[in-house]
Chain A
């Protein structure tokens, strides 16, 4: 009984995604005349056509997205782990105050800093470059990950640090040689979340990336709606699928970390 209910719900949840994939493989004329997902008339034509449908070939957009993602991951890993180590292991002045502020920024809507940041990046001459979207990640602006890592470091046994201290390890060695290797699960969670969120992010690129050669995948997809090419649903679906595949792979690889990390940041 339970299973019947859950399977039914699963099908409802996942059906639109399956329909998207199947439709992307169908000839344009059939997509809306035959809404079923059972068909034998499948081809990759839409993919070939969609790849070159928007101004530049799609791999340019994929490349741009990849650059952003890699920059964001490296930045988050370095800066958030440093901040987390300070909050979790070190006893310094204003620690409680700065920690409370850091937690507060998780809840702060970013719209309130949107305009001044835009002005700042404009003054710096960074508009239409990747810098506004990558540099902040090197300065631990994603407080959610700092918090996630703080929780993780706190759970590490103190004895390890005492042993390291007795061996004469300073804070840098305690961070690099003790903390980082032990917090690989938290780093993996951060990597996968950063990947998925940056890959899907639309608002940041919409504001900062202006010329088509700098566009990322989500922007390239919106060109399918903006343009007069709206009738080419097959190509649009095909490129939508292309944009979802990396997220899906990240999900498959990182499932364990995603579920654990998310639950961990939520409760314990």
Chain B
């Protein structure tokens, strides 16, 4: 079961237990449990839980690292409302997420279905498609992308073959984000691998029965494969949305750290980084931005979970 599935069952269980008197239960391994969990506990309090509280506090202050934080009330949030670049970065990020994730998942699913069941050369295809998703986040690939979509790069070379002179894609405000969307779609291999494993879970007898009934391959896909795969589509969707929201390296490298040209690749996380670490350091504002990011990701994930009731089919 996936981490999401796990959370879902836990929530269900808690719901079912609510209202029942709490049974006093003895725990066998309290001492050993805390011994083995100790590194995680320290890590959680020092590097996650504690810092979350601190950053919540800092979100309501002005803090430049040199002087002590200065209480600002809702000042940072009011400033966000009027911050044109922040709105621009939200626009860029949402566009990136909502365009690249559907394409990425559709391609991953399509290729997984093509590759499924006794395909010759499956391991080779799988490797070829999976490899880019492992390397896609690296600086080397972002550098490569700058050149592939450069004025005299591969893409324009290809277009030139047909007599078209393309623009310098990464340097053009209308197209720079598009090159990053293509880069994200290029990494469809990791959800594809998850889809492949999911396809293997669907019993052959369903297809055999459908075949006996004379259902075509297309019909089998829509009535068997797709419904049974919805939990995995959902899992991939939630994860890819969360990942895409946090993308940083590719935009940083392709734009040389600026988010340009004219802020067209100013991802939210890149803007947050600039606020926190470019002088003058605005750690309070960056913390407020980080909490807004948590809100956005939390809201989208919650929306995803809520919508999943209408299209995800659980076999339990």
A residues whose Cβ falls under 8 Å from a Cβ of B: 2-3, 5-6, 9-10, 13-17, 19-20, 32, 35, 78-79, 82-83, 85-87, 90-93, 95-96, 98-120, 122, 136, 138-141, 146-147, 151, 170-171, 175, 196, 199-200, 202-203, 206-207, 217-219, 221-222, 224-226, 233, 236-237, 240-241, 243-244, 247-248, 251, 255, 258-259, 262-268
Q: Across the interface, name the chain B residue whose C-beta is closest to A34.
A: B157
Q: CB-CB < 8 A to B35: which residues of A? A: 171
Number of chain B residues close to chain A: CB under 8 A = 98
Q: CB-CB < 8 A to A14: which residues of B? A: 128, 131-132
Q: CB-CB < 8 A to A255: which residues of B? A: 127
- Contacts A93-B33, A107-B242 aside, 6 further interface pairs with beta carbons under 8 A come to A90-B33, A92-B30, A95-B27, A114-B55, A115-B55, A233-B147
Is B3 a contact partner of A105 (Cβ separation < 8 A)? no
Is B144 a contact partner of A20 (Cβ separation < 8 A)? yes
Given A111-B290, A120-B51: A35 touches B154 (CB 8 Å cut-off): yes
Given A79-B39, A105-B44, A115-B287: A262 touches B138 (CB 8 Å cut-off): no
What is the bound-complex CA distance between A196 and B141, given in angstroms?
14
Q: Across the interface, name the chain B residue whose C-beta is closest to A11.
A: B128
Q: CB-CB < 8 A to B134: which residues of A? A: 196, 247, 251, 258
Q: For chain A, what secondary structure do more than half of its interface residues adopt (helix, strand, loop), or is it mixed?
A: helix
Q: CB-CB < 8 A to B3: which residues of A? A: 103, 106, 147, 265
Judged by a CB distance under 8 angstroms, whether B283 is at the interface is yes
Is B256 a contact partner of A202 (Cβ separation < 8 A)? no
When each residue 114-128 of chain B gets 1 if its CB lies under 8 Å from chain A and 0 otherwise, what string results?
A: 110001110001111
9 A-B residue contacts at CB 8 Å? A5-B114, A16-B154, A79-B40, A79-B43, A111-B290, A115-B287, A140-B43, A247-B135, A251-B127
Is B290 a contact partner of A112 (Cβ separation < 8 A)? yes
Given A109-B242, A115-B283, A117-B47: A218 touches B126 (CB 8 Å cut-off): no
CB distance from A175 to the nearest CB of B (A): 7
What is the bound-complex CA distance between A221 and B147, given in angstroms?
14
Which residue of the partner chain, among B34, B48, B290, contacts A141 with CB atoms under 8 Å? B48
Is A92 a contact partner of B29 (Cβ separation < 8 A)? yes
Is A32 a contact partner of B47 (Cβ separation < 8 A)? no
Q: CB-CB < 8 A to A200: which residues of B? A: 135, 137-139
What is the bound-complex CA distance between A11 and B118, given in angstroms?
22
* Residue among B38, B143, B297 with most chain A CB within 10 A: B143
What is the bound-complex CA distance between A151 and B235, given in angstroms?
17
Given A147-B3, A267-B1: A115 touches B58 (CB 8 Å cut-off): yes
CB distance from B239 to the nearest CB of A (A): 8
What is the bound-complex CA distance between A98 and B33, given in angstroms?
11
Is B37 a contact partner of A222 (Cβ separation < 8 A)? no
What is the bound-complex CA distance between A19 and B91, given in angstroms?
33
What is the bound-complex CA distance between A199 and B3, given in angstroms?
25
Is B39 a contact partner of A83 (Cβ separation < 8 A)? yes
Judged by a CB distance under 8 angstroms, whether B169 is at the interface is no
When each residue 1-33 of chain B gets 1 if its CB lies under 8 Å from chain A and 0 otherwise, what string results?
A: 111001100100000000000000001111011
Given A146-B40, A202-B252, A225-B143: A267 touches B201 (CB 8 Å cut-off): yes
Q: Which residues of B in the span 187-207 have a Cβ within 8 Å of any Cβ on A?
A: 190, 193-194, 196-198, 201
Is B29 a contact partner of A91 (Cβ separation < 8 A)? yes
Given A10-B125, A90-B32, A101-B44: A109 touches B297 (CB 8 Å cut-off): yes
Is A85 a contact partner of B111 (Cβ separation < 8 A)? no
Is A263 a contact partner of B55 (Cβ separation < 8 A)? no
Is A6 a contact partner of B125 (Cβ separation < 8 A)? yes
What is the bound-complex CA distance between A225 and B139, given in angstroms?
11
Judged by a CB distance under 8 angstroms, whether B269 is at the interface is yes
Which residue of the partner chain, among B153, B249, B290, B301, contacts A107 with CB atoms under 8 Å? B301
Q: Which residues of B in the span 72-93 have a Cβ within 8 Å of any Cβ on A?
A: none
CB distance from B118 to the nearest CB of A (A): 12
What is the bound-complex CA distance between A105 and B291, given in angstroms?
15
